[in-house]
């Protein structure tokens, strides 16, 4: 069955860059949660620099647990998540993408960047009208955050080179799904062009 007809959507006048879970636990291939993601880190860094140069909002998420009761069912299903303990190096943003003091890191317990975090309030305070979502992983936290971004009435773009997944087939399938229904899946250069960065 063919995908539904869809109309392309442009970024607004004030997009934010949302870097999902670019933390050591996910970017280190030696971590049980990690994968080889150097190319994704580099693409994220490219967009981070571009957004900063245009003085556009940049923010991050991490996954962190400080008690056994937090996301207990999720962690029971995926025991590797127990490595994401508060205060550990695992939950810190990869040093190649270090946040500035003005760039918040929202701690979450589940997949979506919006669920029980302060992200939506911060975006409203920054007068954000659209999102560019990047990070890890495509089939999990990226997809959940993209769907919730749409459900919060943002135009959402996903920069294809700046997202990754441990499972290549899941990565491709979810990029297809997101582009068909929830977001524009575009290139890093498309994002740079949209915010006025000359390549």
59 within 8 A of 17, measured Cβ to Cβ: yes
Pairing of strands 155-164, 105-108: unpaired
Cβ-contact 165, 174 below 8 angstroms: yes
- H or E element at residue 171: helix 168-181
Contact in structure between 103 and 74 (CB atoms under 8 Å): no
Q: Please identify which of the residues 11, 63, 141, 194 carries the catalytic annotation.
A: 141
Contact 71, 107 (CB under 8 A): no
The CA–CA distances, whole Å, from 150 to 90, 144, 162, 179, 186 equal 29, 10, 19, 12, 16
- As a whole number of angstroms, the distance between CA 63 and CA 86 comes to 9
Q: How far apart are CA 123 and CA 49, in angstroms?
A: 19
Can 44 be counted among the known catalytic residues?
Answer: no
Please name the residues in contact with 105: beta carbons below 8 A apart, sequence gap of 6 or more.
59, 60, 61, 62, 93, 99
Annotated catalytic residues are: 141
């Amino acid at each position: 069955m063919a995908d539904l007809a869809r109309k392309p959507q442009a970024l607004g006048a004030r997009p934010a860059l949302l870097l999902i879970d670019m933390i050591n636990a996910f970017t280190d291939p030696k971590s049980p949660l990690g994968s080889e993601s150097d190319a994704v880190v580099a693409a994220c860094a490219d967009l981070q620099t571009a957004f900063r140069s245009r003085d556009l909002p940049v923010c991050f998420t991490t996954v962190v647990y400080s008690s056994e009761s937090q996301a207990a069912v999720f962690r029971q299903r995926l025991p590797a998540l127990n490595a994401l303990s508060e205060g550990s190096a695992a939950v810190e943003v990869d040093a190649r993408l270090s946040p500035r003091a003005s760039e918040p890191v929202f701690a979450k317990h589940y997949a979506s960047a919006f669920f029980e975090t302060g992200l939506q309030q911060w975006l409203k305070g920054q007068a954000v009208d659209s999102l560019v979502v990047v990070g890890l992983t495509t089939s999990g936290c990226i997809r959940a955050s993209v769907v919730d971004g749409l459900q919060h009435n943002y135009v959402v773009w996903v920069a294809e080179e700046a997202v990754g997944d441990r499972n290549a087939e899941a990565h491709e399938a979810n990029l297809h799904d997101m582009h068909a229904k929830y977001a524009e899946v575009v290139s890093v250069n498309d994002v740079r062009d949209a915010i006025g960065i000359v390549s």
